[in-house]
Structure 1
Amino acid sequence: MRLPVGLLLGLLGLCAGAQAQSVARGQALFESRCVACHSLDANRVGPALRGVVGRTAGKAKNFFYSEAMTAATHVWDAPKLKAWLTNPETVVPGQDMNYRLDIPQDREDVVAYLASVSAPARK
């Protein structure tokens, strides 16, 4: 089956738009679901999350972690954060975060947002 060129271009545009909007949607999800415990720049019940992508787990400055998180040695990357948001206990047994994002697209978008605020500033 061949799609008309106009329809194909429209679908490609929608896909590109959805991908670009995932960071914005991730920010909205972060602001509605995560800020009760986290901030980008200040430690709260959970550690500050600006710069989390590329940071070693359990090592945010001036945050008191559980023994389990303090002992963690992995570096946060997109796959590890998605696994964490799926079920933190499977990533770090004994950790203290008891929250999950059940919808895979929500995890994708929140991780895209966290990655966007973790990138080093361009000069």
Structure 2
Amino acid sequence: MTSQGDSVPPYAVSEQLVVKGEELYKRRCGGCHSLDNNRIGPRHRDVYGRKAGTVADYKYSKALRNLDVIWTDQTLDEWLVNPTAFAKGTSMGFRLKKADERHAIIEYLKFLSSASSANAQ
């Protein structure tokens, strides 16, 4: 899926990976996260392209509040490999070891970003 009317879409995503990512997100992330509501972890809709630790109504650990990172393919991948190494002091200990699963979940989150959703129509 790519945006219509833009020469370079902000977030081009693979439709196949989005479908796989949605299923994986529900299985791997859904225990603590939701797309639209804060739970144990912050909500994830629009996480792609957002500065870490900035959902206004979520109480982040100091590690995430002070993390000067924008969530991109690279930073999300590094985070999911080992959150505690990425941001020492974070309360997220879950790791996603399989690269293909990380990639699919990141594509799903990218698809759900405002820029991508607005341009997908």
**2:104 matched to 1:109?**
yes
Residue equivalent to 1:40: 35
Residue equivalent to 2:88: 93
Q: Deviations over 1:27-82 (max 9, x none)?
A: 00001111111000100000000000111101112000011111111111110001
**TM, length-normalised to structure 1:** 0.81
Residue equivalent to 1:77: 72
Alpha-carbon distance in structure 2 between the residues aligned to 1:95 and 1:50: 20
Alpha-carbon distance in structure 1 between the residues aligned to 2:39 and 2:50: 18
Alpha-carbon distance in structure 2 between the residues aligned to 1:69 and 1:44: 16
Query: Aligned letter for 1:97?
Result: M
Alpha-carbon distance in structure 2 between the residues aligned to 1:71 and 1:23: 30
**2:69 matched to 1:68?**
no
Aligned-residue sequence identity (percent) comes to 37
1:21 to partner: Cα distance:
1.1
> Which deviates more from structure 2 when the two are superposed, residues 42-51 or residues 19-28?
19-28
Alpha-carbon distance in structure 2 between the residues aligned to 1:107 and 1:119: 20
1:20 to partner: Cα distance:
3.3
**TM, length-normalised to structure 2:** 0.82
Alpha-carbon distance in structure 1 between the residues aligned to 2:38 and 2:47: 12
Write out the 4+ residue segments of structure 1 that deviate beyond 6 Å after TM superposition.
Answer: none
Corresponding pairs, count: 105
SS at 1:22 equivalent: helix
1:97 to partner: Cα distance:
0.3
Alpha-carbon distance in structure 1 between the residues aligned to 2:41 and 2:21: 18
Alpha-carbon distance in structure 1 between the residues aligned to 2:109 and 2:95: 16
Q: Structure 2: 5+ residue runs without aligned partners?
A: 1-13
Task: Name the structure with the higher helix share.
Answer: 1
Query: Aligned letter for 1:79?
Result: Q
SS at 2:95 equivalent: coil
1:119 to partner: Cα distance:
3.6
